[in-house]
Amino acid sequence: MSLKSERRGIHVDQSELLCKKGCGYYGNPAWQGFCSKCWREEYHKARQKQIQEDWELAERLQREEEEAFASSQTSQGAQSLTFSKFEEKKTNEKTRKVTTVKKFFSASSRVGSKKAEIQEAKAPSPSINRQTSIETDRVSKEFIEFLKTFHKTGQEIYKQTKMFLEAMHYKRDLSIEEQSECTQDFYQNVAERMQTRGKVPPERVEKIMDQIEKYIMTRLYKYVFCPETTDDEKKDLAVQKRIRALHWVTPQMLCVPVNEEIPEVSDMVVKAITDIIEMDSKRVPRDKLACITKCSKHIFNAIKITKDEPASADDFLPTLIYIVLKGNPPRLQSNIQYITRFCNPSRLMSGEDGYYFTNLCCAVTFIEKLDAQSLNLSQEDFDRYMSGQTSPRKQESENWSPDACLGVKQMYKNLDLLSQLNERQERIMNEAKKLEKDLIDWTDGIAKKVQDIVEKCPLEIKPPNQSLAAIDSENVENDKLPPPLQPQVYAG
């Protein structure tokens, strides 16, 4: 059957106007003969197929790159020409990989977009060219796999994250506070955009933000953790030195409700110390907070076992202080500053992670300002403990139980004698230094007095007087005087 167009005067076959899929609707030549509904379905299917192929290609290239890198490690003695060819091949594969990832997250698959992607791939940025560690590659794969479940929202998140990392690459000359501010602004903007535009539920937003933080901070860790432009390292050394000087502090001084003689409690204390030390090995702020949280939960369990009742906040903080003193975690201040600067603010401002982190900050501040009054000690005892002259851990002989080991008793007795000898030696050394100082002061005082007298009464050297023979030289007129009397001797 034919339709006649009176206006145009042409004949059109009705079957040519229907959708190619046979749905009964009219097709559009601009949509390759499909109707709008079928065109969207076909485009979505083709797009998903293209995405799947691109991901498979990207994963294959990644595996080939890892295999090539592993083989290069076993052939380091090869000739320089072979190494150059390998580097050229590796660079080409990396370029293809970058092009594939950009293609996956592009807005469309038109020819113009592909040309732009090829031009961008020819001149990759320095951050893309940087060789990443194995952990960074693993985190990148996990991040991309995680975003696959969010489709369009995941593409937008990946695009924003890559743009942020590129921007941070050129902001390394800024101060660490400014870089922290940029990171916090990025967290806030991404979260707000997901909630307003993407209509993502709050619980999913939190999970996505955790993955974003893990991805970007794994890549930025070595640039923003304890940077040389700050005094974080100096603070770390000061805190470690302070904790080492406080090695003599006992649980009783801090009123710690933990009995380490109970095996279960002792195990909990060891686990808590292990967790707080392990914090330094993590790269992501959230993982560092997780170590603090695990440490705190072990502390609560230790208190609960000791007291046979739930622990309170008043019991927790002194025990945390004791754990920090006993463990002396490495780079403690740097880790605290790193978490404060680059952790997702919503995690720090609420929840148990934020609560435990706040307590850790309070514990460090207490240790830095700890004095004799804080431990209910006299200033004299506190100074002696700090100087190492004596230790409060020494156990008196009358307190020993009858079943105590004789070797342990003798050891403590010897330690007591050594402590007394040390005190005597310190006392002698102090007296000798005082005597030396007194002698120096006395010498300086005498020299000063002599100098003052010399300045006040300077020495004047006069010419010598005339000889006695010339006394009467001026008596010219008396030259006829009788001679001087001579002594006479009388007999009898």
**For the domain that residue 347 is a member of, what is the CATH number?**
1.20.1050.80
What pLDDT does 128 receive? 39
**For the chain, what is the domain count?**
3
Mean local confidence (pLDDT), 57-70:
70
Same domain? 383 vs 242: yes
* Higher local confidence (pLDDT), 242 or 86: 242
* Higher local confidence (pLDDT), 62 or 108: 62
Mean local confidence (pLDDT), 447-456:
88
Residue 196 makes CB contacts below 8 A (sequence gap 6+) with: none
Closest of 364, 367, 291, 365 to residue 332, by C-alpha: 364
Same domain? 316 vs 362: yes
For residue 75, give the DSSP letter: T
Are the beta carbons of 37 and 49 closer than 8 angstroms?
no
Q: Which CATH number do you get for residue 174?
A: 1.10.246.120
What is the residue whose two structure tokens read 């909630």?
195
Segment 452-466, tens digit of pLDDT:
888 888 877 777 765
Least confident of 86-95, 189-198, 204-213, 421-430: 86-95
Same domain? 197 vs 275: no
Q: Assess if residue 492 is contained within a domain.
A: no
Same domain? 244 vs 382: yes
Compute the distance between CA of residue 406 and CA of residue 397 in angstroms, rounded to an integer: 11
Structure-token pair, residue 453:
């007298």
What pLDDT does 466 receive? 57
pLDDT of 87 over the 80 cut: no
Segment 194-214, tens digit of pLDDT:
888 878 888 889 999 999 999
Same domain? 240 vs 212: no
Last residue of a domain, one of 187, 204, 224: 224
Q: Assess if residue 337 is contained within a domain.
A: yes
pLDDT of 317 over the 80 cut: yes
Mean local confidence (pLDDT), 264-285:
95
Q: Assess if residue 167 is contained within a domain.
A: yes
Same domain? 212 vs 254: no
- Percent of the chain at pLDDT above 70? 70
Q: Assess if residue 253 is contained within a domain.
A: yes
Q: Assess if residue 77 is contained within a domain.
A: no
Buried b (16+ CB within 10 A) or exposed e, 192-208: ebbeeebebeeeebeeb
What pLDDT does 420 receive? 79
Same domain? 419 vs 379: no
What pLDDT does 130 receive? 45
What pLDDT does 327 receive? 94
Closest of 208, 373, 229 to residue 286, by C-alpha: 208
Last residue of a domain, one of 185, 209, 224: 224
* Higher local confidence (pLDDT), 239 or 455: 239
**Domain of residue 169, residue span:** 135-224
Mean local confidence (pLDDT), 473-491:
67
Segment 371-399, tens digit of pLDDT:
999 998 999 989 988 988 777 755 444 45
Q: Assess if residue 71 is contained within a domain.
A: no
Segment 130-169, tens digit of pLDDT:
444 788 888 989 999 998 888 788 888 999 999 999 999 9
CA quadruple 366, 183, 221, 168: dihedral sign: negative
Collapse the DSSP code of 28 into the 3-class scheme (helix H, G, I; strand E, B; otherwise coil) and give the result: strand
Q: Assess if residue 310 is contained within a domain.
A: yes
pLDDT of 302 over the 90 cut: yes
Are the beta carbons of 323 and 302 closer than 8 angstroms?
no
Q: What is the largest CA-CA distance in the chain?
A: 199
Number of Cβ within 10 Å of residue 453's Cβ equals 10
Same domain? 309 vs 235: yes
Same domain? 343 vs 430: no
Last residue of a domain, one of 179, 195, 224: 224
pLDDT of 76 over the 80 cut: no
Residue 225 makes CB contacts below 8 A (sequence gap 6+) with: 283, 334, 338
What pLDDT does 72 receive? 57
Compute the distance between CA of residue 341 and CA of residue 305 in angstroms, rounded to an integer: 36
Q: Assess if residue 399 is contained within a domain.
A: no
pLDDT of 259 over the 80 cut: yes
Mean local confidence (pLDDT), 270-299:
96
* Higher local confidence (pLDDT), 247 or 423: 247
Same domain? 175 vs 206: yes
Number of Cβ within 10 Å of residue 226's Cβ equals 17
Structure-token pair, residue 391:
């230790």
Same domain? 252 vs 216: no
Q: Which of 37-41, 68-72, 193-197, 464-468 has the highest mean pLDDT?
A: 193-197
Residue 21 makes CB contacts below 8 A (sequence gap 6+) with: 34, 35, 38, 42
- Helix H, strand E, coil C: the string for 298-357 is HHHHHHHHHHCCCCCHHHHHHHHHHHHHHHCCCCHHHHHHHHHHHCCHHHHHCHHHHHHH
What pLDDT does 236 receive? 95
Same domain? 366 vs 413: no
What pLDDT does 350 receive? 81
What pLDDT does 246 receive? 94
Compute the distance between CA of residue 392 and CA of residue 287 in angstroms, rounded to an integer: 38
pLDDT of 74 over the 90 cut: no
User: Across all residues in the chain, what is the average pLDDT?
Assistant: 78
Residue 9 makes CB contacts below 8 A (sequence gap 6+) with: none
Structure-token pair, residue 59:
């994963």
